[in-house]
Structure 1
């Protein structure tokens, strides 16, 4: 039995329901593979864990790959979400109605190369790189609610719900990179290039299992809620259901409708490279970053379903 460890991008929750089901149900065992999902570790996040050899895979984005110390050693092989979930709320009562109002403000961001989309959005909105202070912190919600931050990086399936519940939706102006045509997807499956070359059958087994897990999650949501409850008992079933519904909305669009569930659209990699070129004036080779062969070899029943 080959063990494949997957470092998640955050704590275990419905955001990763398909991965959690693949692990819980042992969907890769029939191919001799044991999937182990590992929650977030701020000491060694996502692609850093893969590059160090601590894990074979991670949930990460094309931007994470391209901004890593060795992007040539990583491959982007699967994605479920086909749209960025990131939003940046600010208080209407403070007069924040457009991104340029954030000038001289403090914006909370998650530590470890998590703010490329934010920087791209602010640049396209007309703000200089040093116009705002970006403050790295693992909890962007608490400081924002206390008024310590002008705005903060959040997801529309988790942190934003917490803020809206506390302050009310109408009290917020919610900025989104989509409004400036510069959104970057967040969750994809990344594998070490060498592991993919040495153990392609194991990688294929994981891809097949993860796609099956997400198919179950979207078609039988209560099975996903059960798996999420076991992994994250501090959240209510209703919170898991809401988050899963939000993830589904991010997934059933774009390339999922045109190609199929999990398609690692090369345009996502190209957009991350474009962001780095515009924001950091850095040209990053990205032609070999994407690798769709494992998705293409997955069972049609899991990737080709008509999700529309």
Structure 2
């Protein structure tokens, strides 16, 4: 079944906070990844911060644990005393998360999650202009400054504006695989990466901040087959270059050898599986390690990247 992605629209929302992740999930759906998008609001028409009116539906679709609610940010050089959502909407956010679903925010959308009680006891981030204000407003939560996004117990928060794209691509990579996210990124022409030190940031995307086509082609292969045994000679033959040239060009573009890049993808996927209840042994098998010893070594001394 396709994953439902519901965008909760509020007055004066920023267009890019909405359009960035919406474009990513829509593109993923066009590529066959299975996403259905919905736009819900407490009123039938929302006027954005940029003056563009948007029609929204009042009724929520039926959601399950695999589905996602995204709250885009709104114009907020200084936050109002209360976020622009009512009690029923706050309960909807709480109920979806309690049922096992994911909730996400872009920029000041974190204020809505905080008002729903979803930030308490969790780490989160927001736009740098709002960190002090939100930190004071939600003292039971832990603000993480100067990062693109943070994932904590199915609550995903991002810094704002274009970082909503980073958040969406990360979720696509986790749910549909690194290859799918890479294809979406290429369609959207968003290879460039910005600084961020959160492990939730997709390794695939973090090493796509270059313009070398040969390296991108090799990454496309590894992204789609990272759980397989990939020989350097096969990668080189598939691209039509020597092993020496492949290693030199790939390392210069990404900062990693092809093997280390593959290991980083495996480690990231394994950490996600373990975080969702899988044993180390089971995660190791899924990502392609013959036994769990290599995974344990990588987890104890994560490879650079």
The two structures have a TM-score, normalised by structure 1, of 0.31
The two structures have a TM-score, normalised by structure 2, of 0.32
